[in-house]
Amino acid sequence: MAPKKPLCLPSLLLLPLTLLLPQADSRSFVVDWDHDRFLLDGVPFRYVSGSLHYFRVPRVLWADRLFKMKMSGLNAIQFYVPWNYHEPEPGVYNFNGSRDLIAFLNEASLANLLVILRPGPYICAEWEMGGLPAWLLRKPNIHLRTSDPAFLAAVDSWFKVLLPKIYPWLYHNGGNIISIQVENEYGSYSACDFSYLRHLAGLFRALLGEKILLFTTDGPEGLRCGSLKGLYTTVDFGPAENMTQMFALQRVYEPHGPLVNSEYYTGWLDYWGQNHSTRSVRAVTEGLENMLELGASVNMYMFHGGTNFGYWNGADEKGRFLPITTSYDYDAPISEAGDATPKLLALRNVISQFQEIPLGPLPPPSPKMMLGPLTLYLDGYLLDFLHLLCPQGPIHSISPMTFEAVKQDLGFMLYRTYLSHTVFEPTQFWVPNNGVHDRAYVMVDGVFQGVLERNTKHKLFLTGKIGAKLDVLLENMGRLSFGSNHSDFKGLLESPVLGQTILTQWLMFPLKIDKLVKWWFPLQLPKSLHPQTPSGPTFYSTTFPILDSGGDTFLFLPGWTKGQVWINGFNLGRYWTKRGPQQTLYVPRPLLFPGGALNKITLLELENVPPQPQIQFLDSPILNSTLHKTYIYSLSDDIQSAPEPMELSGH
């Protein structure tokens, strides 16, 4: 068995463990099979936990969020570890800064919170590809989440790095991790590969030992394929479900032991083009109270949602492709900006009826800031910066290649070819077999022609002279994180067709937009207003001072269409004002320079710029806009139709 004393952790991180916690030899967290409960150090124990994702919260705000969770009456937190956040390339690992998992465990220890860890390898979490690295798809025939040797080899390599890091933090070793989930809602995946689950269980045992409690989590339909002997079976359900039926299903697979709801939904996720999801305070609190009266252990998903910064949002597939919004507010008890909500106060009151909660009031809301409107100025068209966006030059291929084939995991790639003949009349341009993954911004000789979109908008009509330059900018809107049993490749998956001509001889430019914004744009000359309103992919920016100490704020982009935003070089995420429901982007105070220093905001607008290119910073969010009408394209004839009710997915 591995040594109990960690060899590689800095002594400063270990100090809180030795000060706050008993010695390892006296520590245990086990199932009391005879009395259907947990025992913590031999004493009956039930956890009331909440989910928080360190990868959705800036590191400087971790302690704040954890303190508020502790003050809410929680005695544990639950969180995922996204593999793709820590291994961006095979064998290249990143545990620095906001990716410092050990520092987050230490912050939880300082807040006196136990940890329920969910390291995957698949996590869902509405996160890009469910946490699996996109580089797995460089082997296009790989079968994800199965006993495919190619997948298992990558999983084994990752866990042989990750699990030894967390071994010293297991509860019986003096740490705060009381249990670890194996995989995630595996029964909702159609593979149903028990050899794969057994392999994972064996790997966890080999690297973590026999003492740590391993468990699985599944919804009611997933228990048959998601449960495995030797792993404690738990269930997940929300306030709308029949609690008695849900726990009865758990008892089919675990006749004895504690009742556990590993994901009790306090809210829900949002899709672009759908309404903002909410769950009523009354329903959520009544459901929690009923479970606690039964003696169940409960984890509330989410307790604080956070933000899908950058390109990290995932997507669902429910009849069509549904990317998830930048905000992961989730209608959670702690808002996206870290403030206590009425839901939190009501839940705290329920928890106080079953266990002691810390004395003292919850912290007040963080200071908020308003600013603007501010006018943005044109930096230039995206095509003007191609030499900086792709300094190594393009890749040539007869047929277009996917993002994965050229090792472009996230963001954007430009496809370019030249017309082989003159097209006099408007002629249909399309990509067979729904081959646009996920949105294509089409230009002829630099002039924006329109958008093609996965599942919804399949054709444009183009004209052009022989030799005209046809550019197709492809946006990866986030890989599927739930609801699919196939690999979600990005880019042009088939050769586009113009009229009767299959277009060939493509140049592909993998774009490093974040590097351009961070390193090159600060060197650009001052900008001036463009004489006409541009369309198509364009960069806009401006600078602005904050004269006082500033505060959290919410970026509002009225009239803008769709794009990406950076604040002081930090990729804030996607906006999609025209589609909604999210209208503002959360800007944490630590991203801004106070005291009169200049801050810079950069926009990549992908479609249409408003006549007055202005933005504002508001002191409250707009997450459920009713100011515009949402349209869903017909799948058959590209005619816009009324919104459709959407079936919700799991996690």
Q: What is the pLDDT of residues 337-358, one digit of tens each?
A: 999 999 999 999 999 999 999 9
Residue 508 predicted with pLDDT over 90? yes
Q: What is the pLDDT of residues 211-233, one digit of tens each?
A: 999 999 999 999 999 999 999 99
Count the neighbouring beta carbons within 10 Å of the beta carbon of residue 525.
6
User: Structure tokens of 602?
Assistant: 């950069």
Confidence of residue 12 (pLDDT cuts 50, 70, 90): very low
Average of pLDDT values for 33-56? 98
Residue type, 179: S
Q: What is the pLDDT of residues 167-211, one digit of tens each?
A: 999 999 999 999 999 999 999 999 999 999 999 999 999 999 999
Burial (CB count within 10 angstroms: exposed 0-12, middle 13-18, buried 19+), residue 22: exposed
Residue-averaged pLDDT of the chain: 92
**Alpha-carbon gap, residue 517 to 537, rounded angstroms:** 14
The predicted structure's pLDDT at residue 398: 98
Q: What is the pLDDT of residues 99-149, one digit of tens each?
A: 999 999 999 999 999 999 999 999 999 999 999 999 999 999 999 999 999
How many residues belong to the chain?
651
Collapsing DSSP states into helix, strand and coil, what is residue 130? helix
The predicted structure's pLDDT at residue 521: 72
The pTM of this model reads 0.92
Confidence of residue 535 (pLDDT cuts 50, 70, 90): confident
The predicted structure's pLDDT at residue 626: 46
Q: What is the pLDDT of residues 586-637, one digit of tens each?
A: 999 999 999 999 999 999 999 999 999 999 999 999 999 844 333 333 233 3
Place of tokens 């495919």: 148
Residue 19 predicted with pLDDT over 50? no
The predicted structure's pLDDT at residue 576: 98
Backbone conformation region of residue 273, classed left if phi is above 0, alpha if psi is from -120 to 50, else beta: left
Give the least confident one: 14-18, 538-542, 621-625, 638-642. Answer: 638-642
Residue 247 predicted with pLDDT over 60? yes
Residue 642 predicted with pLDDT over 80? no
**Alpha-carbon gap, residue 649 to 651, rounded angstroms:** 7
In 3D space, the residue among 72, 50, 69, 49 whose CA is nearest the CA of residue 61 turns out to be 69
Confidence of residue 645 (pLDDT cuts 50, 70, 90): very low
Containing 207, the helix (H) or strand (E) segment is helix 194-208
The predicted structure's pLDDT at residue 484: 65
The predicted structure's pLDDT at residue 643: 33
Confidence of residue 6 (pLDDT cuts 50, 70, 90): very low
Which tops the pLDDT comparison, 639 or 146? 146
Average of pLDDT values for 443-459? 97
Looking only at the bridges linking them, the beta strands covering 37-40 and 29-32 are antiparallel
Q: Does residue 257 contact residue 36 with C-beta atoms inside 8 Å?
A: yes
Give 520's DSSP letter: I
The predicted structure's pLDDT at residue 318: 87
Collapsing DSSP states into helix, strand and coil, what is residue 624? coil
Active site (catalytic) residues: 185, 263
The predicted structure's pLDDT at residue 24: 57
Average of pLDDT values for 458-474? 98
Residue 59 predicted with pLDDT over 90? yes
Q: Give start and end residues of each alpha helix (H) in 21-118.
A: 62-71, 83-86, 101-110
Alpha carbon of 290 to those of 16, 129, 268, 298: distances in Å?
Answer: 36, 35, 20, 11
In the chain, pLDDT over 70 holds for what percent of residues?
Answer: 90
Which tops the pLDDT comparison, 14 or 606? 606
In the chain, pLDDT over 90 holds for what percent of residues?
Answer: 88
Residue 15 predicted with pLDDT over 50? no
**Alpha-carbon gap, residue 241 to 291, rounded angstroms:** 12
Burial (CB count within 10 angstroms: exposed 0-12, middle 13-18, buried 19+), residue 139: middle
Q: Is the dihedral of CA 63, 65, 70, 74 positive or negative?
A: negative
The predicted structure's pLDDT at residue 519: 86
The predicted structure's pLDDT at residue 530: 53
Give 572's DSSP letter: E
Confidence of residue 534 (pLDDT cuts 50, 70, 90): confident
Residue 11 predicted with pLDDT over 60? no
The predicted structure's pLDDT at residue 524: 57
